[in-house]
Amino acid sequence: MKNIQLSIITLISTGFLCYGGGDIAEVTPYESNDINMAIEEATPYIEPTPTSIPTPIIKKIPQKVVKLKKGINPSGFYVGLGITGSRYKDSCKCTTPTNSIPTKITNKERNLAILTRVGYDFNPYIGIEARGIRSVAEDDDFKLSHIGLFLKPMIPIGDITNLYGILGVAKTKVTGNIPKVDAESAAFGGGLEFDLSKDIPKEGRYSRKFDGKGDQEKGVGFFLDYERLVVKKNTPDLDTLSAGVSYDF
* pLDDT-derived band at 238, boundaries 50, 70, 90: very high
> Can you give the pLDDT at residue 159?
78
Identify the top-confidence range among 44-48, 68-72, 133-137, 152-156: 152-156
* pLDDT-derived band at 137, boundaries 50, 70, 90: confident
Is the pLDDT at 212 greater than 70? The verdict is no
User: In whole angstroms, what is the distance from residue 93 CA to residue 172 CA?
Assistant: 24
User: In whole angstroms, what is the distance from residue 210 CA to residue 217 CA?
Assistant: 9
Between 129 and 122, residue with greater pLDDT: 129
Is the pLDDT at 175 greater than 90? The verdict is no
Which residues, 6+ apart, have CB-to-CB distance to 238 below 8 Å? 86, 87, 88, 144, 172, 174, 181, 228, 229, 230
Name the maximum alpha-carbon separation found in the chain. 187
Task: Confirm if 238 and 228 have CB atoms less than 8 A apart.
Answer: yes
Instruction: Establish how many alpha carbons lie within 13 A of residue 194's alpha carbon, considering only the half-sphere containing its beta carbon.
Output: 8
Categorise residue 71: left if φ over 0, alpha if ψ from -120 to 50, beta otherwise. Answer: beta
User: In whole angstroms, what is the distance from residue 57 CA to residue 76 CA?
Assistant: 53
Domains recognised in the chain with CATH numbers: 71-248 (2.40.160.20)
Is the pLDDT at 124 greater than 90? The verdict is no
Between 163 and 36, residue with greater pLDDT: 163
> Can you give the pLDDT at residue 21?
47
Chain mean position to CA 239: 37
User: In whole angstroms, what is the distance from residue 132 CA to residue 113 CA?
Assistant: 10
Q: Which of 28, 6, 8 is nearest to 16 (CA)?
A: 8
